[in-house]
Amino acid sequence: MSGTIVHHVGILADALGDCETLGVVSAALGASSRIRLLGARCVPEFDCDCAVYGGGVEGEALIEVIRPRSGALRRYLDAALAEGRPNALHHFAIAVDDVDEAGRRAISAGARLISPAAAVGVLDWRVNFIHPLSTGVLVELVEDPRRRSR
């Protein structure tokens, strides 16, 4: 796998383009760094809209902003908003060459996956999640066609 092991961090927000976290991160990086939208799409499997932001540098870790429409993701964000937090950290993702194989290895190590099969995420990523009861935090496995081993 080329690039970093951390593929991206997923943040729940009420709006894809108005995520307070993006503004703070951008300010911390300084004027010479510019975070920009790399792509967005509706992900019906998870009932949400997702947008991916980054600086356009190959192999960099990205930020995924997730706007949940309903269900568990919406309840999680609503709880954060009720506590006065503008956004909520949802997951971190690791880059893998083959999401199916990575899922099988995780199961062999005693982990539980959220779904028996990978789904198509934003930017045509193939994804699956390791259940937080297995790791203490939600971990996404991401097969990103742009980051395949050469």
Q: Identify the residue with better confidence: 15 or 105.
A: 105
**Which residue type is seen at 3?**
G
User: Is 6-147 a CATH 2.40.160.20 domain?
Assistant: no
Q: How far is CA 119 from CA 20, 45, 105, 128, 136, in A?
A: 28, 7, 18, 6, 22
Using 50, 70 and 90 to split pLDDT, how confident is the model at 32? low
Q: Identify the residue with better confidence: 14 or 30.
A: 14
Over residues 77-88, mean pLDDT = 93
The CA dihedral of 22, 27, 30, 35, to the nearest 10 degrees, is 20
* pLDDT tens column, 95-112: 999 999 999 999 999 999
Q: Identify the residue with better confidence: 1 or 89.
A: 89
Q: Where are the domains of the chain?
A: 6-147
Is residue 121 a contact partner of residue 127, using CB atoms and an 8 Å limit? yes
| CA-based nearest residue to 140, from 52, 31, 131 | 131
pLDDT above 50: residue 1: no
Is residue 132 a contact partner of residue 138, using CB atoms and an 8 Å limit? yes
* pLDDT tens column, 35-74: 888 999 998 888 999 999 988 777 788 999 999 999 999 9
